[in-house]
Amino acid sequence: MSTLSERILGAPAGDYVDRQVDRAYVHDGTGVLTLEAWRAMEAGAPASPGRCYVLFDHIVPANNSVTAGLQHDLRVFARQQGFHFTDVGEGICHQLMGEGIALPGEIVVGADSHTCTLGAFGAFATGVGATDMAAIWAEGGTWFRVPETIAIRMRGALSGPAEAKDLALTYAARLSMDGATYRSLEFVGEGVTSLSIDSRMTLSNLAVETGAKAGLFYADASTCRYLGAYGHLVRPQEPEECCYERELHFDLGEIVPVVAVPPRVDCVKPVAEMEGMPLDQVFVGTCTNGRFEDLSRFAARIRGEKVKIRTIIAPASRSVLARATETGILATLVRAGCTILPPGCGPCLGAHQGVLGEGEVCLSTANRNFKNRMGVGGEIYLVSVATAAASARAGFLAAPEDMP
């Protein structure tokens, strides 16, 4: 009997295996270095160009001519090789791969640490570096050490203003920043059924912040319905009795809004304990919380008021932006005084758009609050969308209320 990682990789935990991959993707950040390694390898033609994706999301549109030149080179290469290619404005790589591309049971590798996001679909999805990815372009596969697995067992349902992000930060705090190093997480238990696909992606996304190589959900009826809308006929993955190295239990009804205090993702406190903290910027977006569910939650909580501090919102993809436009949510956000960025990673990594100045404090729905990440001397506090909305309305860190 196997964990989902063992089942997909086809070997017991601890084994080293060579496997072909089903999807391999890079973005404009890691793709440049991948291309350099690829050229150094002189490998000839890629093994499976139809399984390779180049998705521009990190600095889009380019912020200067150096970046533009690097992107141009990668863009031309991707097109020449017949890779799937999405240009600036289409969205964040993990989100796009989650819009009907990654499927249950697949092995997915991405040259980005948050590739684990796609575990939400029952895929074994993990991040690799640029040189590993170049070898994957050449050979179509790579080696893996089959990981031991830690179960995150959930019961009940989230209540009040708590959301998946609060649960994600809470489990990260319980595990700590290296509590799952070299291991996978599996999200199991009856509480899973209450979680939307958008919420599951948020939970899988944070897996790497505990050191995990993957964070998997078993595909269930919700997964099948979601992928069915993209034309995929997929079956649920039935969990088996299996041997978890460790289990963490969470009663979802007890999760409360929390904040991760810089510079550690695992330094987590209830928002209620830090209310009133002054802020300079609120940022909503990223592969953690830039989906339609997030934008619509923010809009619902703004309720026609104006934001009192500068608020930047980056939809995770063009389809998220389109849906927000069609449903009137975008208009609500714009009228509330939010600045809307093009779909992409935005200021999360401090490369452009909303970089922080010395001494500034940003409340962010992203996944990392490392020192200077969004700008030298700036501090990042990680929260849920509901907490971001309540705080944008208040002008300082504020706990979200129960919605009527």
Partner 1 sequence: MKIEGRALCLGPDIDTDVIIAGRYLRTRDRSEWARHAFEDLDPSLAPRLEGTVIVAGKNFGCGSSREQAAIALREAGVRGVIAPSFARIFFRNAINIGLPVIECECTCSDNEAVSADPMAGTVTIGRHTYHTRPLSPRMLEILSAGGLVAYWRGRR
Distance separating alpha carbons of residues 348 and 364, to the nearest angstrom: 8
Nearest residue (CB) to partner 1, 11 versus 177: 177
**Residues 6 or more apart in contact with residue 224 via CB below 8 angstroms:** 234, 235, 236
Nearest residue (CB) to partner 1, 307 versus 366: 366
Distances in Å between the Cα of 44 and the Cα atoms of 23, 89, 131, 141 are: 20, 31, 16, 16
Q: Which of 48, 81, 339, 372 binds partner 1 (CB under 8 A)?
A: 372
Site residues (CB under 8 A) for partner 1, limited to 57-76: 59, 66-67, 70
Does 21 bind partner 1 (CB under 8 A)? Our answer is no
Helix, strand and coil content of the chain, in percent to the nearest 5, comes to: 40, 20, 40
What are the residue ranges of helices labelled H in 292-372?
A: 292-302, 318-326, 329-335
Site string for partner 1, 262-281 (x = CB under 8 A): --x-----------------
| Pair of tokens at residue 334 | 């714009």
Shortest Cβ 358–partner 1 spacing (Å) = 13
Q: Which of 8, 128, 258, 390 binds partner 1 (CB under 8 A)?
A: 128
119, 217 in Cβ contact below 8 A? yes
Does 45 bind partner 1 (CB under 8 A)? Our answer is no
Site residues (CB under 8 A) for partner 1, limited to 83-122: 111-113
Shortest Cβ 172–partner 1 spacing (Å) = 12
Distance separating alpha carbons of residues 15 and 356, to the nearest angstrom: 44
Site string for partner 1, 134-173 (x = CB under 8 A): xx--x----x-x----------------------------
Q: Considering only 3-11, 125-133, 192-200, 230-238, which stretch makes contact with partner 1 by CB under 8 A?
A: 125-133
Bridge partner list, 153: 188, 249
Bridge partner list, 142: 19
Site residues (CB under 8 A) for partner 1, limited to 306-365: 349-351
| Pair of tokens at residue 89 | 């404005």
**Residues 6 or more apart in contact with residue 147 via CB below 8 angstroms:** 5, 13, 182, 183, 184, 212, 213, 214
Nearest residue (CB) to partner 1, 178 versus 251: 178
Side-chain-side CA neighbours of 61 within 13 Å: the count stands at 2
Does 230 bind partner 1 (CB under 8 A)? Our answer is no
Nearest residue (CB) to partner 1, 263 versus 337: 263
Binding site for partner 1 (CB under 8 A): 16, 29-30, 32-33, 36-37, 40-43, 59, 66-67, 70, 111-113, 127-132, 134-135, 138, 143, 145, 177-178, 181-182, 211, 213, 264, 349-351, 368, 370-373, 376
